[in-house]
Amino acid sequence: MLDIALHVRVDVDLLIAAQNDMGVCDAIEHYAPGGKPADMSAPNVPKVAGIDPLVPPPAQTPAPAGAVIQDRLAGWVSDLTTLHELTERLVGTGALDEALHEVVRAGAALVGARRGLAVLEPADGLGPASTVGFGLAHADLGHIETVPRDATAYGRFLDGTTEPGDGGPSASPDLLHEEGLDPLHREVAARLGYAASYALPLTGSSGRLGAVVWLYDEPAEPVERQRHLVGLYGRYASEHLTRLLELERARTHARTLVEELLPSRLPRVSGVQLAVRHRTGPRGGGDWYDALPLPEGALGLVVGSVTGAGPSATAAMGRLRASLRAYAVIEGEDPVAVLSDLELLMRLTEPARSATALLAYCEPAKRKIVLAGAGHTPPLIIGERRTEYAETSLSAPLGMLSCWEAPSVEISPKPGETVLLYTDGLLHRTGEPMDRAFARLHAAAVGVPKAIRDDPGAIADHVLRTVLPDGLDEVDSAEDIVLLAARFD
């Protein structure tokens, strides 16, 4: 053992505190050892043949204080860089399941585990609830879920049954030899091949969100540095999950409100098949559709859009749709009269809004459609011999002029042809100028495979995927989408 003099030993914690106050360089200079180190004790041997018996001390000297601090600072920089990279990846997630996958994956890298799972289960009970795994198959998650919740640390986090002051992480470094381990838990751990676990609660500013647990193949547990890093990451991840949870709930409420205001199902009318595709933006919008049976076997089809977004636009859409249904039942055979009445109602009750609408009075037995449009995009006729836009009269949206009036037009779809009504959100989501968007929609309709032309739902799906490829129809957008397809026998 080397006997190092006391005055050359460096208190690292004292250096850390000092460098926070006076700066790294000043702290190193202030606490650097001064003078020469004391000689190390060495054994005396007998003098032989005039040779000096003093043995020179070994060439081992203590590391300089500056090197110690530099190593410590290098470790800090490495840890901060790692946390920065992981949190940047987490910020890039925009959905709850995607964020949970990233949390359990990043946490596994921080604590040195190969597998894990994250459970989202907000304490307020309002959902949504979700479980995702990392390195675990769906069947593995099923096996783990058979273990009683109170027999696992993360289950106790979720149920809120941890003891006061025990809300921090929980380590089981040697799970299979743990006293009092639930027999089913032991069986599942042996079957899946994990021997240790480390669980961390996820708690945001709004309360408990869920928990995450990482599984080790051998008895192990994270060291203090790993615990510290994953704790910092877990706090940041909890706040990010809180924001995503609030956003998801707002989207769910908006979708629910819109769905309740729109038809729960399409009517069945002889001579025509109907299908609809509807996509709502994250804030909820004012696009709507309707299909209502009318006297003498007739059918009324309508698509429309109210300016604005959010709950107020959704409420206005509901009022206009209800009013149009009433007018259509009374005088549906005259679409111009229906839209005129709706425009008068808008000027009296919605003076700050405008709306577009396209109303079609259909007589399937005669394959006859009378159309009236107010600032709306023209319908598209899709058939084997023709794919073309129907010619409609140009007119202003409802609420834009002191008095709306436009002539109606009549079209006659042939047997097997499909009339596609849509809102302009489909065109706006392409991000292209309107003329090119119309051309893209027409090309998509021309390319409808012959095998699906008898199915209006398949036609609508094909058009939607072709006009908005790579999932653009599903991504968040301020633009709602409505496609209403009517195939005539």
> In this structure, is residue 432 part of a structural domain?
yes
Same-domain pairing of 128 and 153: yes
Is 450 found in the same domain as 330? yes
Tokens of residue 392, six digits: 């409609």
CATH number at residue 478: 3.60.40.10
For the chain, give the mean pLDDT. 84
CA distance 360 to 304: 12
- Cα torsion for 63, 65, 69, 71, to the nearest 10°? -10
* Position 31 confidence tier, pLDDT thresholds 50, 70, 90: very low
Residue 448 lies in a domain: yes
Tell me what pLDDT residue 11 has: 42
Residue 275 lies in a domain: yes
Q: Are residues 129 and 170 in the same domain?
A: yes
| Position 67 confidence tier, pLDDT thresholds 50, 70, 90 | confident
- The fraction of the chain above a pLDDT of 90, given in percent, is 57
Cα angle 337, 340, 346 (rounded to 5 degrees) comes to 145
Residue range 78-104: mean pLDDT, rounded: 93
pLDDT in tens, 94-133: 889 999 999 999 999 999 999 999 999 999 989 899 999 9
Same domain (yes/no): 296, 371: yes
Same-domain pairing of 112 and 244: yes
Last residue of a domain, one of 209, 235, 254: 254
317 in the same domain as 218: no
Pairwise CA distance, residues 358 & 335, whole Å = 9
Contact 320, 355 (CB under 8 A): yes
Residue 38 lies inside a defined structural domain of this protein: yes
| Overall average pLDDT of the 239-248 stretch | 93
Q: Is residue 55 a part of any domain in this protein?
A: no
Any bridge partners for residue 134, and if so which? 116
- pLDDT, tens digit, 9 for 90 and up, residues 254-281: 788 888 888 888 999 999 999 999 988 7
Distances (CA, A) of 414 to 302, 378, 461: 20, 18, 22
Cβ(278)–Cβ(265) under 8 Å? Answer: no
Q: How many domains does the chain have?
A: 3
The verdict on residue 365 lying in a domain is: yes
Residue 475 carries which DSSP code? S
The per-residue pLDDT for range 390-400, each reduced to its tens digit, is 988 778 888 88
The helix (run of H) or strand (run of E) holding residue 239 is helix 224-261
- Boundary (domain end) residue, out of 236, 254, 272: 254
Angle at which helices 224-261 and 311-331 pack, to 10 degrees? 20
| Measured CA distances, 95 to 115, 130, 235, 383, 468 (Å) | 22, 12, 18, 40, 21
Kindly state the tokens that stand for 448: 């409808």
Dihedrals φ, ψ of 46, to 5°? Answer: -60, 150
Domain region containing 429: 264-488
In a domain, 80, yes or no: no
Is pLDDT of 435 > 70? yes
Shared domain check, 273 and 344: yes
Question: Among residues 441, 450, 437, which one has the least CA distance to residue 385?
Answer: 450
Separation between Cα atoms, residue 285 and residue 354, nearest integer Å: 14
The answer to whether residues 291 and 242 belong to one domain is: no
Does 22 share its domain with 133? no
Say whether both 217 and 289 belong to one domain: no
| pLDDT(188) > 70 | yes
Residues 301 and 169 reside in one and the same domain: no
Give the pLDDT mean for 72-98: 89
- Pairing relationship of beta strands 130-134 and 115-120 according to DSSP bridges: antiparallel
CATH number of domain containing 152? 3.30.450.40
In a domain, 366, yes or no: yes
Encoded tokens for 51: 């040779």
Residue that the structure tokens 């129907």 belong to: 390
pLDDT of residue 402: 66
Q: At which residue do the structure tokens 């709507």 appear?
A: 288
Regarding whether 326 and 239 lie in a shared domain, the answer is no
Q: How far is CA 339 from CA 10, 333, 361, 470, 481, in A?
A: 87, 12, 12, 37, 22
Residue 413, preceding bond cis, omega within 30 degrees?
Answer: no
Last residue of a domain, one of 223, 254, 285: 254
